[in-house]
Chains A and B, each alone.
Chain A
Amino acid sequence: MERDPTSSRFGTLPHEELKFLCDAVKDTPWRQVIENMDLPVLKQKRKWFINPRKGYPYRILPLVQKRLALDIGAGSGVISDTVAQDFSSVIAFDYSPELVTFMKKRFLEDGIKRIHLVRGDAANLPFHKECFDLVIVNGVLEWVPDFVPKMNPYRAQIEFLRNVHAILRRKGMVGIAIENRLYYRHFQGLSPHGESSYIVILPRFLANLMRRLGKKSQYRNYIYSYWGYRHLLKKAGYRNIRIYLVLPSYYDPHVVISPQRRPSQAFFKEYFQERFSGNGETGFARKAAYYLLNQMNLFRYLEHSFLITAEK
């Protein structure tokens, strides 16, 4: 099984590493710890803590008001930090006590007072109704079913999105960054969240059957296609759903393309020239396939990740 190297449980660090991290930041500046600490997963994910680009897609959104934002699953705090430049206040919300401790140290050291920390789980959002202008769900939606193990994953995600809908102000917006189920590499065996290969693209009942045959727990980290997300959000009561393409992925976004725009061939050529030369994907057939997909405007539906926005 080929596993996406950037993914780990909840997309963060293993518990032991988080503990080490928390101990280390007690008496050392957090940036120094992140740069120098030699832990197996952390050293591969240093960017996850410091890359402000992760928050940039949320800064371009067409919001009416920018008073209060909520970052669900804030993790390292880097998105809250970036978004706080535009908002009067930001609430960074995370399940892990270690990450909350880390963020506390981070924001204290950086002198950021606009970010407030709340600990809790995504299935029980402890907020009043209609108080946020923006709710950020960056790489979180797929993990939500793990918090309600008895509920069907699809239903758990709908329920979560409805709860988010309830805490949004009128004309407030939810911003969801997530993987695309139909990402072409999933058909080549890449697994986005550590599942067995191809599980993600199989029909759900087959995926569960395969898991059961392998004596594993039910497959719960549902991700969807372009149309699947649209359907999910509609069902949760949202309107004005926009699905932006994020390239190369929402882990480290370099380009965001609006829903109305098909990548031009010139852009496409330039972007992929870099990409092809970067990872050895140089085959003529693959290049031709990309070119054709773009010509048919299908490219948008087969890339790695989306930024989805929807209004209350």
Chain B
Amino acid sequence: MIEVIKHLFKEISLLNEVKELPFYVSFNRNFNFFIFGNQEEFYQVKVSSERPLRDEYEALRIAHEAIPANVPQPVGFYQKGGLEILICRGIKHKKVRSLQAHGYIVQKEIKAILKGSKVFFREEKPSASHMQQLMTACDYFKNRPFSNAMRDWLVNLNPRLVNSLPHIKQHGDLTLYNMGVVGDNLIIFDWEDFGKISIPGFDLCCLAVDSVTRFSPMGIERISERSAYPKEIMDIISCYCKELSLDQGIFFNLYPVYLFYFLYLKNRYGYSSEIIRIGEKLFAAVLEKPVKC
């Protein structure tokens, strides 16, 4: 793999002066290389032989065009030696460990991004209504228990209310783990699920759930406790709901829908069984005890 990357870097004239490419590689859903130059510059190179990366490249390109300050710059997508390769410019950043640590920057930037997303990422001609998309996701799971629970829950949902929401492409995995801070700027990473969900509020729900539970088995019960949500996240929620002319209560009422979509993404695109298990538990927790507004 590394020799394919080396040839590719030569071909596209990246890091020409480096003789042997120094790198780290981490193994998750892809081979995730970090290739370093002599100076501060480095590149993130995702390599896969099984998973198509073209869609991720397109997503990254669209997102970078819309909000260049918040998205890593894609360099290119290549197919070489039976491998799919996606290169983007590396950004030296600080990890966002908690909203308390970087609350102000995250709050300010997320508000701006969510506000902007209404314009940048709006789907003018969606292929299907929200309810139809939800039913398609239910069909994906066939008769799994949580899919049946979702169908039962949907009976009591007003379809007109859901269908009246605009279609806005969501990041798909907006968690603190996928965020970094450079000065006063927030960088959002991992755009591989961008655009796969278009129900507004999905990203915000992911962020809110992450800030309360950290997607850990220990935090599952806290999802329904309103008092557990940090004030920074509540502020973002109220601001976003105002933007969408959506009642805050409705946003929290839609939690089962958001978490069902979360499960759908994680199952469909091959995430770890651990996160799927936690997703199922979170979904069950909000069905049993909805978040009170």
List the interface of chain A (C-beta within 8 A of B).
Answer: 53, 56, 59-64, 85-86, 253-258, 260-261, 263, 266-267, 270
Contact = CB atoms under 8 A, between A and B. Distances in A.
A53 B26 CA distance: 10
A76 to B, nearest CB: 18
Contacts of A53: 27
A270 B49 CA distance: 28
A12 to B, nearest CB: 23
B4 to A, nearest CB: 9
B59 to A, nearest CB: 25
Contact of A60 (B1, B36, B50): B1
Given A62-B6, A255-B25, 14 more contacts: A56-B31, A59-B1, A59-B31, A61-B2, A86-B49, A254-B26, A255-B26, A255-B27, A257-B23, A258-B21, A258-B24, A260-B20, A266-B94, A267-B24
Given A62-B2, A260-B22, A85 B27 contact: no
Interface in B226-256: none
B24 A257 contact: yes
B23 A261 contact: yes
A261 B2 contact: no
B3 interface: yes
Nearest to A257: B24
B95 interface: yes
B115 interface: no
A59 B1 CA distance: 6
Contacts, number: 46
Contact of A261 (B36, B50, B95): B36
B28 to A, nearest CB: 8
B1 A256 contact: no
A276 to B, nearest CB: 13
Contacts of A258: 20-24
B92 interface: yes
A253 B32 CA distance: 13
Contacts of A256: 24-25
B272 to A, nearest CB: 11
B2 A266 contact: no
Nearest to B28: A254
A186 to B, nearest CB: 25
A13 to B, nearest CB: 23
A34 B20 CA distance: 42
Nearest to B18: A260
A206 to B, nearest CB: 37
A85 B49 contact: yes
Interface string B181-197: 00000000000000000
Contacts of A261: 22-24, 36
A246 B250 CA distance: 48
23 contacts: A53-B27, A56-B31, A60-B1, A60-B2, A61-B1, A62-B2, A62-B3, A62-B6, A64-B3, A85-B49, A85-B50, A255-B24, A255-B26, A255-B27, A256-B25, A258-B20, A258-B22, A258-B23, A260-B20, A260-B22, A261-B23, A266-B94, A270-B95
A298 B36 CA distance: 20
Interface in B1-45: 1-3, 6, 20-27, 31, 36
A255 B34 CA distance: 11
Q: Residue among B2, B31, B49, B95 with the most chain A CB within 10 A?
A: B2
A260 to B, nearest CB: 4
B68 to A, nearest CB: 23
B24 A263 contact: yes
Contacts of B50: 85
Nearest to A52: B27
Nearest to A63: B3
A254 B24 contact: no
Contacts of A267: 24
Interface string B48-78: 0110000000000000000000000000000
Nearest to A53: B27
Contacts of B1: 59-61
A86 B82 CA distance: 9
Contacts of B3: 62-64
A245 to B, nearest CB: 9
Contacts of B95: 270
Nearest to A85: B49
A63 B6 CA distance: 12
Nearest to B19: A260
A119 to B, nearest CB: 30
Contacts of B49: 85-86
A80 B234 CA distance: 51
